[in-house]
Amino acid sequence: MQKFSYHTHTDFSDGSNTLEEMLQQAVVLGWQEIGVSDHLIVHKNITQSISYQNMIARAHSDMYHSDFKTALPFFNKHAEIFRKIAKKFPLKVYLGYEVDFFTYDGWQEEFKEFISRLDYDYLITGNHFFTNLDGTEIVDISQYKKCKDVRGGDSLENYLRRHYQTIVKAVESGLFDFLAHLDYARKIPEHQNFPMIAERLQIVDALQRHNVACEISTKGLRKIGDFFPENNMLAELIKQKVPLVISDDAHQTSELGYAFDAAEKTLNNGGCVMRYHLK
């Protein structure tokens, strides 16, 4: 069974445990490696988001940044502390980030410049927002009902479609090691009215073409009783030989390795042979 996770959170972003507590639990589980991937979210209009008040009620406001310039020293300071703590534990610890990819003019260039100065080991793209047409206005997906109040906003169907198109762009950017929770938007009950099969298959296609890995997340089991991504997408990923990695998206120590046996079984039964591993 896979004895590591590369998608985990600490109280540096919205996790409940400290880095020390998470690493200690990984040692207890007998893991020899772990990746910690706290959120990295930078959007120029984030504080003006219609969902911002809800976002900061659920996690501390330090998690959200409106410019790369001030974010850089903040994250590099974190890296310094992180690496000191990691050294004290008898396992290999990778410093990663789960990055929301945005599509407004200039974001990608600024992000590239930012990561060229950032101390990190790997990057995941995990996308948690709906955006308007030019990407300048964002709404936290769990607050999707507020979308109707966005100036110049449109239908849920269009928000969903753009969300999946954003993920395709993130994959095509070549900036990320793997994709988190491909169809996280399934947590919205109304998603079933707009299945977005073609859009999701475009993500699978982009992963295959750009040789980017994808996770099977047991967080889906905790949230909606099913993996992210769902079975038909998983079958397609396996068929296209996209490398897969099991993630728990742990936000607390008790979630490390959560249902990895079930995920392992699903991958093996599906005939998955392409597994992802950080080099």
Q: Under the rule (CB under 5 A), what is the footprint of Zn ion?
A: 98, 126, 249
Question: Is 98 or 151 the residue whose CB approaches Zn ion more closely?
Answer: 98
Q: How far apart are CA 116 and CA 98, in angstroms?
A: 16
- Look at residue 47 and give its three-state secondary structure: helix
Q: What is the CA radius of gyration of the chain?
A: 18
**CB of 126 vs Zn ion, minimal distance in Å:** 3
Question: Is 126 or 135 the residue whose CB approaches Zn ion more closely?
Answer: 126
Q: How far apart are CA 150 and CA 153, in angstroms?
A: 5
**CB of 191 vs Zn ion, minimal distance in Å:** 16
**CB of 156 vs Zn ion, minimal distance in Å:** 20
**CB of 101 vs Zn ion, minimal distance in Å:** 12
**CB of 78 vs Zn ion, minimal distance in Å:** 16
Sequence-distant (6+) residues with CB within 8 A of 15 are 8, 9, 22, 38, 250, 251, 252
Question: Is 183 or 249 the residue whose CB approaches Zn ion more closely?
Answer: 249
Task: Name the residue with tokens 């004895």.
Answer: 3
Q: How far apart are CA 194 and CA 2, in angstroms?
A: 34
- Residue sitting closest to Zn ion (CB): 126
**CB of 128 vs Zn ion, minimal distance in Å:** 6
Q: How far apart are CA 180 and CA 243, in angstroms?
A: 13
Question: Is 187 or 210 the residue whose CB approaches Zn ion more closely?
Answer: 187
- Look at residue 91 and give its three-state secondary structure: coil
Core vs surface per residue 166-203: b (16+ CB within 10 A) or e: bbbbbbebebbbbbbbbbbbbbbeebeebebeebbebb
Question: Is 30 or 225 the residue whose CB approaches Zn ion more closely?
Answer: 225
Q: What backbone phi and psi angles, to 5 degrees, belong to 67?
A: -150, 150
Question: Is 57 or 198 the residue whose CB approaches Zn ion more closely?
Answer: 57
**CB of 79 vs Zn ion, minimal distance in Å:** 18
Q: How far apart are CA 66 and CA 44, in angstroms?
A: 4
